[in-house]
Structure 1
Amino acid sequence: MGGAILTKALLIIDYTNDFVADSGALTCGQPGQAIEKAILSLANSFLEKNQWVIFPTDLHQKNDPYHPETNLFPPHNLKNTWGRKLFGKVNNWYQKNQENSHVYFFDKNRYSAFVNTNLENYLRSRKIDELWLAGVCTDICVLHTAIDAYNKNFKIVIPQAAVASFDPQGHQWALRHFKNCLAAKII
């Protein structure tokens, strides 16, 4: 007997102008831009197979005294700004496919896409049990999402060509951590 068929979702994490564009407020620049083609290829592949493409996207208020990132980073991904829009061709892909019932964009306000959101309920209600994580930054939001996914017993796949960081050492460390500590499949 073969194993159970897994229902998959692709999470494209924080792929916004502020995190990817050259002039973004907290950009990883060229490494983030270099993964655009891989992200688009994955998004198309998932949608063609009636699998889910999910966009957990950072949303902040300027100078929010109650948010811990206010003292760590410059203002970024502020509501109704250019910086919060999805970057480049990924934004075009989203605009074209946003009405598809298998495409879901939602706000998050912490590193992990699971904290303070309905993501787990969304996934469980659709019987999704395997998460492919793409986007930025490998060693921050992708990492924290992966840790929560692992702790919630989701299978994790990290397409190496679809994650990036502004910190090359942090990126490499996170890839090892995904594999060695979270049992993620790195492809």
Structure 2
Amino acid sequence: MRRLLIVVDMQKDFINGSLGTPEAVSIVSKVKRKIEEYQEAGDEVIFTLDTHKEDYLDSQEGKMLPVVHCIKGTAGWELEESLKEFPGKYFEKNTFGSAALGAYVKEREYKSIELVGLCTDICVISNALLVKAFLPETPVLVDSSCCAGVTLRSHENALEAMKMCQIQVL
């Protein structure tokens, strides 16, 4: 049985664009090494892409977070340059968690599912909990060294919340 790595929203807008942070920049090389490790072992890698339309500011999320980001087709929507070379399945999502990703993993068996990426406190936690709901007996892991949050405090809070929900934080 193979392992699965889910790379959450490693897009330019979250790294060095409109919502970028120094912490996000600092994890890129670690995420790249993690992807290489999984692919060299013959394991599966999936990428999620935060995907919005031009009317983002009119959406509920846009009203709560009025920072235009990840508009499909823009440079900020694209995967970080050093990660584009990797093959894998892509899930575009217009909200924090991907229902399509949940449905996809539900139809498969994995030895474990690990998540890395951005932002720990929004999309990583949402997708980790979603995957755990679909596959409650499969170990779900989050590598904290390959994640960054909106703030250091919210990153730490999200890691603690995931631990309480039986997600293994590495």
Same fold (TM over 0.5): yes
- Pick aligned residue for 2:115 from 114, 117, 133: 133
1:160 alignment partner, SS class: strand
1:49-106 deviation per Cα after TM superposition (whole angstroms, max 9, x unaligned): 1111110111001224773212122121001100011113123x33xxx3xxxx1112
Runs of 4+ in 1 over 6 A off after TM superposition: none
- Pick aligned residue for 1:70 from 47, 58, 62: 62
Structure 2 unaligned blocks of 5 or more: none
**1:178 paired residue number:** 162
* One-letter code aligned to 2:156: Q
The count of aligned residue pairs is 167
> How far did residue 185 of structure 1 move?
1.6
- For 2:103 and 2:110, locate their aligned partners in 1 and report how far apart those are by CA, in whole Å: 10
1:148 aligns with 2:133: no
Matches within 5 A, 1:100-119: 103-113=88-98, 115=99, 117=100, 119=101
Q: Is the 8 A contact 2:57 2:68 kept in 1?
A: no
* One-letter code aligned to 1:147: L
Q: Is the 8 A contact 1:155 1:184 kept in 2?
A: yes
Q: Is the 8 A contact 1:123 1:129 kept in 2?
A: no
Question: Percent identity of the aligned residues?
Answer: 23
- For 2:26 and 2:81, locate their aligned partners in 1 and report how far apart those are by CA, in whole Å: 12
TM-aligned CA distance change 1:88 to 1:65, over 3 Å: closer
- For 1:160 and 1:89, locate their aligned partners in 2 and report how far apart those are by CA, in whole Å: 20
Q: Is the 8 A contact 1:10 1:46 kept in 2?
A: yes
1:174 alignment partner, SS class: helix
Matches within 5 A, 1:1-187: 7-21=2-16, 24-27=17-20, 29-64=21-56, 67-73=59-65, 74-91=67-84, 93-94=85-86, 98=87, 103-113=88-98, 115=99, 117=100, 119-128=101-110, 130-152=112-134, 153=136, 154-179=138-163, 181-187=164-170
TM-aligned CA distance change 1:148 to 1:138, over 3 Å: same
- For 2:50 and 2:43, locate their aligned partners in 1 and report how far apart those are by CA, in whole Å: 23
TM-aligned CA distance change 1:167 to 1:44, over 3 Å: same
TM-score, structure 2 as length reference? 0.90
